Amino acid sequence: MATLILIRHGQSIYNLENRFTGSLDIGLTALGAKEAQWAGQKLVGYTFDFAYTSTLKRAQESLRIILEEIHQNNIPIILDKALNERDYGSLQGLNKDETIAKYGLKQVEIWRRSYAIRPPNGESLEDTFKRTIPFYQHAIEPQLKLDQTILIVAHGNSLRALVMYLEHISPEHISNLNIPTGIPKKYVFDANLKVLQVNYL
Ligand SMILES: O=C(O)[C@@H](CO)OP(=O)(O)O
């Protein structure tokens, strides 16, 4: 049966420092690399046909560690910026607590978790959805229709957009959904790509 595994990259240096990361190309911490290894250990027994990741090194490095753990580094890997993290614009690099102190919790929560409102000079989740989902529909859904097993290693917000699409979550409800780093989420589909099963591994 068609199977899709989603994994958010392991902890990055900016995750650790509590900074807005977005489209900045920030590497993993030692814990982040460990998280990727643990994610790989949960995938022993799965055989992937394709892996997809973003053009950012924290996701690519996580994918490399995961595939190494399951001895599947030789599968085709597709890198695409459609899977990149949402561009946080002028907030990128800023500490999240300092930003709250400056602009207030309410404003920062709107920038971080509203669907349609953009952070200054950045992308909203809606903007992210509009690039991530067409790519998923065009590149990945046809493979799932062939009953393949696909791995996507990406980012907090590009994965929130994907989960929104896969689980039919409304813009009102998506603000409550956060994706943990390094925990594989599994979807099993029927022949029409209706989700039959969804669970964290
Ligand atoms: O900083 C970021 O790019 C993202 C993901 O780490 O943060 P947030 O969870 O605030 O959207």
pLDDT in 10s for each residue of the chain, 201 residues: 999 999 999 999 999 999 999 999 999 999 999 999 999 999 999 999 999 999 999 999 999 999 999 999 999 999 999 999 999 999 999 999 999 999 999 999 999 999 999 999 999 999 999 999 999 999 999 999 999 999 999 999 999 999 999 999 999 999 999 999 999 999 999 999 999 999 999
Ligand 1, residue 86: give the atom nearest the CA.
3
Q: What is the CATH number of domain 2-184?
A: 3.40.50.1240
Q: Any binding-site annotation on 8?
A: yes
In the numeric block, which tokens belong to residue 131? 């690039």
Q: Any binding-site annotation on 9?
A: yes
ipTM of the prediction: 0.96
The HSE-up count of residue 121 (CA atoms within 13 Å, CB side) is 6
Nearest to 178 by CA among 160, 158, 201, 164: 160
Q: Any binding-site annotation on 12?
A: yes
- Distance between Cα 138 and ligand 1 center (Å): 26
3-state secondary structure of 37: helix
Percent of the chain with pLDDT over 70: 100
How far apart CA 98 and CA 83 sit, in angstroms, is 28
How far apart CA 129 and CA 201 sit, in angstroms, is 25
112 ligand 1 Cβ < 6 A: yes
- Distance between Cα 131 and ligand 1 center (Å): 18
How far apart CA 196 and CA 201 sit, in angstroms, is 16
How far apart CA 112 and CA 166 sit, in angstroms, is 21
- The predicted pLDDT at position 9 comes to 98
- pLDDT tens by residue, 81-129: 999 999 999 999 999 999 999 999 999 999 999 999 999 999 999 999 9
Phi, psi at 55, each rounded to 5°: -95, 10
- Total Cβ atoms within 10 A of residue 37: 16
Ligand 1, residue 20: give the atom nearest the CA.
1
Ligand 1 atom 10 nearest Cα: 112
156 ligand 1 Cβ < 6 A: yes
Residue with tokens 């920038």: 111
- Non-local CB neighbours of 130 within 8 Å, separated by 6+ positions: none
111 ligand 1 Cβ < 6 A: no
